[in-house]
Chain A
């Protein structure tokens, strides 16, 4: 079973509108971290936001916020006031402890976001 599921292969949004990118995860570990990365067409991976499993408040970084619903194992990324430069692939990722005691990150397959003017 996939540990990280991103169900939206592609999303379209109008400039200046908000958009939510979905991410659900699967882990039996109590201590884990959730991340979102942006990959523009140039290819680099850009860290956006982090949420720890014990954090009670939703993480926020500028126009990015993470809607963390622990009971539902959901970690959706919300981008407010979309800009043309937000067009990119977005990856949800999780680091939890494997059965061997190591922390190995798992990435989702990504969501392609296109922002229309």
Chain B
């Protein structure tokens, strides 16, 4: 089954404790991205990757890191989480052609205390 998986689905952590949210897709997609969703703000892109070893900032990259060592994986790293990073996070992937649709993961609900 073609899908994007994220882990964990739910996470409660404390300020300053490094965490990683994993994302994996099995569709051989070149383009992958991370979004955060906050009430009243819709989805905002954090980082994206056009291909292996190619990453770039989206609209709200501060406080986040990513890596793309393999085509299928695109982990999101919070080196020192803060309460304002409490949000719902989505990973998405799509083929290289930008006008094709993105496939979203199920979401990770993160709470930083």
A binding-site residues for B, Cβ under 8 Å: 4, 31-33, 35, 37, 43-45, 47, 50, 52, 91, 93, 95, 97, 102-105, 107-110
Contact = CB atoms under 8 A, between A and B. Distances in A.
A96 to B, nearest CB: 8
A44 B106 CA distance: 5
A90 to B, nearest CB: 11
Contacts of B103: 47
Contact of A44 (B40, B102, B107): B107
Nearest to B38: A109
Contact of A103 (B59, B92, B98, B107): B98
Nearest to B40: A109
Nearest to B33: A105
Interface string B26-48: 00000101010000111111001
Contacts of A43: 88, 106-107, 109
Contacts of B88: 43
A44 B42 contact: no
Interface residues of B, number: 27
B50 interface: yes
A35 B101 CA distance: 7
B44 A107 contact: yes
A102 B107 contact: no
A62 to B, nearest CB: 15
B56 interface: yes
Nearest to A39: B37
A79 B55 CA distance: 37
B99 interface: yes
A23 to B, nearest CB: 12
Given A43-B106, A105-B45, A95 B40 contact: no
Nearest to B43: A107
A45 B88 CA distance: 12
A4 B41 CA distance: 12
